[in-house]
Structure 1
């Protein structure tokens, strides 16, 4: 298992270099007037040239990238061109906001989709059709409309939760949950449909296998058959879909951060892209790639635990 882990981590490091290199090249070739954006339209050409030299933007592309890599090896992601804030500090303060919403959304997605998938596979018939219809509607329903509706009902009319803003978990767990539950529900809607369909399909395939018929003939209860045997074997494909949903939800977090005014990772990445703030943009890229690598690695380990046949030596 350890060689496998080292290979995956090594592949993740290579992926960081490739993605950041491509990001660097695309940003450089986009010819974003960073110095002009910082100084404003009234700045002279001389002032712009001085600022470009101070930021290192007058250097060749390869030299700028190697300078950035040198800082990365020392744990320094640089400072924002616009705010002057250390990129690492900015990301470590904003990433918990986004992860709070995403993790709660994934818990909702996992619980709801598993329940829907099991019910659909076990009951079939009208219940299966009803649940599939609900899943399809949740998949195509626009999240932004749902977000606005939830804010209106639960924040404005009922006043159960705040309409906007974020409270740290360490400051007040109850207020933290109130600040993330609505954004999490909005993010989870589409994921529930996709994952429930995967759980349902995998379970139906497992329930039609020979070993299930053998266990049923031996008198094993349907509940034990479904939850202990079939569900565990069907979890592999569902876990793969779950990891893809995590990445998708993490990327979609930007929209709920805008709706609910959350100071998260997505908003920071969006602003860095618009401004051409290269240090911030590269920091966002590094954190994003590492997060994807870690999530995929955890999913692989979970699959190995659920299905010993899938474990790698």
Structure 2
């Protein structure tokens, strides 16, 4: 996106969204500095509750259970991280509340960023022993498969298809897909009101899969990262977005002219992703996750995710194997 087009968007929250999106495009997959402790100041937004509007596909796997935790550091994957002296984490840099660079300071902030620091503290004894790499939505799995990163902590939904490609920790957040649209729009959800309209979703996202399966006559518009959809809505290039409600809330927090509509379309859970078969690392991460969910999750929700509404409480971890 050109500087001229970004400047045309004006000031305030829209400029912030554009700066975040442009920064992510420029960063690609490069190492980034650590986060600050500053809290965001987003507006309060509504998160729909109740049953999903679309019946989810029949489950063919257990997305809520992961390997039994272990603090044994002798496994090959954990040893590689410890010998290196840092955890390499694939993260997002343009999702408000979750993982973003503060335009004023250049520091990384958000719930997922703090989770990475907690993993580093548990595995390496140093919360700052982290190298962050910005990874686009579509590149999350290949970044793990190639060994470019040790973990991906990027609001990544655990799905049966993805479990065939990567390994996951226990879930750390419950979410679901929802439609984001301008308040002035007649769009009421993923229904016939999107017929003939441009609907945006990130490549490689579960939102894109859901949209393609329930088009209702919509035209699909794809981008590399979900915040790019917000910029495209602001520029008038798309009419609506499908994304995780938790990410949609971040978009709404940045731009008060848009809102979440139609209610939840499905139910999803986020997990920390690792290379398929890295059993020792999965167990070690789950040990850190067990502590994070029990002792830190509530404070992190209050710090970052209050715009989503009252805390639902940390997910209860389930282990097997």
Which TM-score band applies after superposition, normalised by the shorter structure?
A: under 0.3
TM-score by length of 1: 0.24
Per residue, is there more helix in 1 or in 2? 1
